[in-house]
A and B are shown apart, each in its own frame.
Chain A
Amino acid sequence: MISYFQDYVTIGAVLGFGLFLVVLLLGVASVLRPNKPYAEKLQTYECGVDPVGTGWSQTYVRYYIFGLLFVIFDVEAVFIFPWAINLEKLGYFGLIEMFVFIFILLIGLIYAIRKDVLKWES
Chain B
Amino acid sequence: MEIFEIVTYFVLLLLVSTAVRVVTTSNVIHAAISLVFTLALTSVLFLLLSTEFVALVLVLVYIGAVIVLFLFGIMITRAPLGKNAELDNDKNKKLGAAIAGSIFFLFSYILVNGFDGEVIITSGSSTELLGEILLSRFVFPFELVSFVLLAALIGGITLARKDEALIDEDQV
Contact = CB atoms under 8 A, between A and B. Distances in A.
B85 interface: no
Contacts of A13: none
A93 B135 contact: yes
Interface majority SS (helix, strand, loop, mixed), chain B: helix
Given A74-B64, A101-B142, A107 B156 contact: no
Given A68-B69, A93-B135, A111 B161 contact: no
Given A93-B135, A97-B135, A77 B157 contact: no
A1 B142 contact: no
B150 A105 contact: yes
A20 interface: no
Contacts of B128: 82, 85-86
Contact of A83 (B4, B77, B134, B150): B134
B17 to A, nearest CB: 19
A100 interface: yes
A108 B149 contact: yes
A4 B75 contact: no
Contacts of A26: none
B123 to A, nearest CB: 5
Contacts of A89: 132
A63 interface: yes
A101 B61 contact: no
Contacts, number: 138
Contacts of A68: 69, 153, 156-157, 160
Contacts of A93: 135
B16 interface: no
B146 interface: yes
A4 B160 contact: no
30 contacts: A56-B82, A58-B77, A63-B72, A64-B73, A65-B161, A68-B153, A68-B157, A71-B61, A71-B66, A72-B152, A72-B156, A76-B146, A77-B60, A78-B56, A78-B57, A78-B61, A81-B131, A82-B53, A82-B127, A83-B135, A85-B128, A86-B128, A90-B136, A100-B143, A100-B146, A101-B145, A101-B146, A104-B143, A115-B161, A117-B157
Given A71-B61, A108-B153, 14 more contacts: A1-B50, A1-B122, A3-B124, A64-B73, A65-B156, A65-B160, A71-B68, A71-B69, A82-B131, A84-B131, A85-B127, A90-B136, A104-B150, A105-B150
Interface of A: 1, 3-5, 8, 54, 56-61, 63-65, 67-72, 74-79, 81-86, 89-90, 93-94, 97-98, 100-102, 104-105, 107-108, 111-112, 115, 117
